Amino acid sequence: MRLIRQKINLFLDNKTEKSIINRLRSEGAVFAEEETLLLISEARSIEELMNMVEKRVSGFPLEYVLGFTNFCGLRIEVERGVFIPRPRTEFLVQQAKVLTRPYDIVLDLCCGSGAVGAAIATDIKKILLHSVDIDPVAVRCASRNITKIGGHVYQGDLYDVLPHSLRCQVNIIVANAPYVPTDSVKLLPREARLYEPKVALDGGKDGLDFHRMMAEKAPHWLVSGGHLLIETSEMQGTKTFEIFINSGLITQIVRDEELDATVVIGTKSG
C-alpha cells in the first residue's frame, strides 16, 4: 500500500484520485476505492491510467484492464478473450494438491490461462505439467503463465494433441472445463456473457459433454492409481459422479460450501 501511495504522489494529486473513485462508483463499481488503487499501481503514466479508467468505465472486466488476476496467491496474466479464473476453482487446486507428489505427471485439460496447473506446480515442486486448450488466446496466456515454471502447453481438442508417450503415464488429470448448459449461457452475469468466449462456457445441452469426453478417455492416460479431478456445479454433481462411475473410476464427490465449489474425483483402479 505504501508503494502505491508513493506512486500516486509521483503523478497524481488527491483530487484526481478522488475523481477516479467517483467516476468508477457512478458507473456501478462496488469496490471503487480498491479498483482505483489497483489501476494506479499498474499504470506507468497518468495517460495510461486514464486509458485504463475509461476501459473500466465502459464495462471491461477489471482483470482484462489490469492484464492479470490473482489466483491461489499467484499473479496470473489474462488478456481479453481468455476465461478469468474464478475463486471457486481454488478448491479444485486444493484437492489436486492433496493427491499430487513431486515428479508426478500432471495434465491440465481445458487450461484457459493455465492458472490451475500453475498453482499446483508452484506448490508441488518438480511436477511435469502438460496443459491443453483449444483456443489460441488461452494457449497464448497459458504459455506466458506456465512455460516459465517448466510446463508444456498444447493447442487442440482435449487429449488429441498429447504425445502418445504420455499414455498410461499421467498421475493427475485436472479440469475446469465448460459446464454451463447451452440454454443457460444467456443467463450468466453480463461480464461473462459479453467478454468471455462461448467456447469457454458452453458445456452442451446438459452442460456435461466435456465431463463425458474427459472421463471416458481418462483411463487410457492415467497410471493405475492415478486420479481425474473435475470441477462441476452442486446441481450437476450427481450426474458428473455417474459419468465417472460409468467410466470405471472409483469415485467420490467433495464440496466446499464457502466457495460454492464441487469437485468429482475418480481413481483408476490398479
Ligand X SMILES: C[S@@+](CC[C@H](N)C(=O)[O-])C[C@H]1O[C@@H](n2cnc3c(N)ncnc32)[C@H](O)[C@@H]1O
Site residues, ligand X (CB under 6 A): 83, 85, 89, 110-113, 115-116, 132-135, 138, 157-158, 176-178, 199-200
Angle between helices 46-57 and 32-42 (to 10 degrees): 140
- Spell out the alpha helix ranges (H) of the chain: 2-11, 14-26, 32-42, 46-57, 62-66, 90-99, 115-123, 136-146, 190-195, 209-221, 237-246
Give first-to-last CA distance, the chain, whole Å: 52
CB-count burial class (<10 Å; 0-12, 13-18, 19+) for 157: exposed
Residue 178 or 266 with smaller CB distance to ligand X: 178
Q: Using CB atoms, what's the residue nearest to ligand X?
A: 112
DSSP, collapsed to helix, strand or coil, labels residue 154 as strand
66 vs 138 by CB, closer to ligand X: 138
Nearer to ligand X, 36 or 95 (CB): 95
* Smallest distance from ligand X to CB 156, Å: 7
Measured from the CB atom, the residue of 19 and 184 that comes closer to ligand X is: 184
Work out how close the CB of 126 gets to ligand X at its nearest, in angstroms, rounded to a whole number. 22
SS3 260: coil
Q: Which is nearer to ligand X, 110 or 173 (CB)?
A: 110
Nearest distance in Å: CB 255, ligand X? 17
Q: Which is nearer to ligand X, 7 or 97 (CB)?
A: 97
| Nearest distance, CB of residue 113 and ligand X, angstroms | 6
In angstroms and rounded to an integer, the radius of gyration of the C-alpha atoms of the chain is 20
Find the shortest distance in angstroms from Cβ 93 to ligand X. Answer: 9
Torsion angle in degrees (nearest 10) through CA of 215, 151, 97, 170: 40
Cβ–Cβ < 8 Å for 244, 264 = yes
Locate 253 and state its grid cell: 464427490
- Taking the complex as a whole, the smallest distance from the CB of residue 54 to ligand X amounts, in Å, to 27
Nearest residue (CB) to ligand X, 54 versus 157: 157
Q: Can you tell me which residue has the cell 502418445? A: 164
Amino acid at 117: G
State the nearest-atom distance from the C-beta of 50 to ligand X, in Å.
30
Residues 112, 82: contact at Cβ < 8 Å?
Answer: yes
